[in-house]
Amino acid sequence: MPPVLLRLRDVEKAYGGLRPLRVRELTLHEGETLALTGVDGPAAEVLVDLITGSALPDRGEVEVFGAPTSSVPDGGAWLALLDRFGMLSPRAVLLEAMTAAQNLALPFSLELNPIPPSILAEVTALANDVGLAEPDLVRMAATLDPLAQLRLRLGRALALKPTLLLAEHPNALVPAESVTGVAEALSRVVEVRALTLLVLTADEGFARATAKQVRRLDPATGDVREVGGWSSWFRRG
């Protein structure tokens, strides 16, 4: 059995919603792809913050990469932990006045004008993996269409070769007609880079298109259940 990268047990966190975020049991092994539905935008932010150690649960335990987040000793250790996550999120800021290539280069170097050849090779590889077209690399990030911006965000999330990719409602970043493109981009890069993936989404169809496992969180109880069975077949009609 591959090692466990993420485990939440009896987690509860108040955040100003109608009820606290509750997760009774959630486990993700290395190499798995899992989509979790039933988590709205505000709750997803809280869940990502708990997983990355940006916040601690009010009760229960969050364990990542074999250790509880409560055991992180200081800010330096937390930053090192954070580097092991790739974050595909509406909260990830693009530098809109820079080109797409400069945005992709930023995690590697502050030399951006011009980008050093060795860094440019990294940028080109990232762009190829996420399907960002070559002409888009020289355009300002602000001028890219929503799907190209999503591909750029995905490239940024992958730049430092993360152990675990967290996708926080990624389909919310684009209009409905581009959601298929988001699913294709995410699925492709997960396969190419053999990533471990956790997707948080409200769209069950998108969940099935991006992850091999689909589960639903019951926000009232915190139970996490596999999505499937006869009810899913009826919904497909």
CATH of the domain at 23: 3.40.50.300
Q: Is 117 exposed, middle or buried (0-12, 13-18, 19+ CB in 10 A)?
A: exposed
Whole-number pLDDT of residue 233 = 37
Q: Are residues 171 and 234 in the same domain?
A: yes
Whole-number pLDDT of residue 18 = 83
Question: CA triplet 196, 101, 103: central angle to 5 degrees?
Answer: 65
> Structural domain of residue 135, as residue ranges?
92-162
Whole-number pLDDT of residue 99 = 97
Q: Nearest to residue 86, comparing CAs of 205, 207, 199?
A: 199
Q: Are residues 55 and 74 in the same domain?
A: yes
pTM confidence score: 0.91
Tell which of 131, 147, 162 closes a domain: 162
Q: Are residues 174 and 144 in the same domain?
A: no
Structural domains counted in the chain: 2
Q: Are residues 119 and 221 in the same domain?
A: no
Q: Are residues 175 and 155 in the same domain?
A: no
Paired sense of beta strands 196-200 and 164-168, if any: parallel
Whole-number pLDDT of residue 25 = 97
Decide: 210 and 180 in contact? Cβ < 8 Å.
no
Q: Are residues 157 and 173 in the same domain?
A: no
Tell which of 162, 178, 203 closes a domain: 162
Q: Are residues 193 and 210 in the same domain?
A: yes
Whole-number pLDDT of residue 80 = 95
Tell which of 130, 162, 194 closes a domain: 162
Q: Are residues 22 and 126 in the same domain?
A: no
Sheet holding 85-88, edge to edge: 85-88, 164-168, 196-200, 33-37, 213-217, 224-226
Q: Are residues 132 and 60 in the same domain?
A: no
Q: Are residues 66 and 99 in the same domain?
A: no
Q: Are residues 41 and 158 in the same domain?
A: no
Phi/psi for 36 (5° steps) reads -115, 120
Whole-number pLDDT of residue 173 = 85
What are the 10-residue block averages of pLDDT along the chain, 237 residues in total? 96 92 98 96 96 97 97 95 94 93 95 93 95 96 95 95 96 90 92 94 93 96 81 38
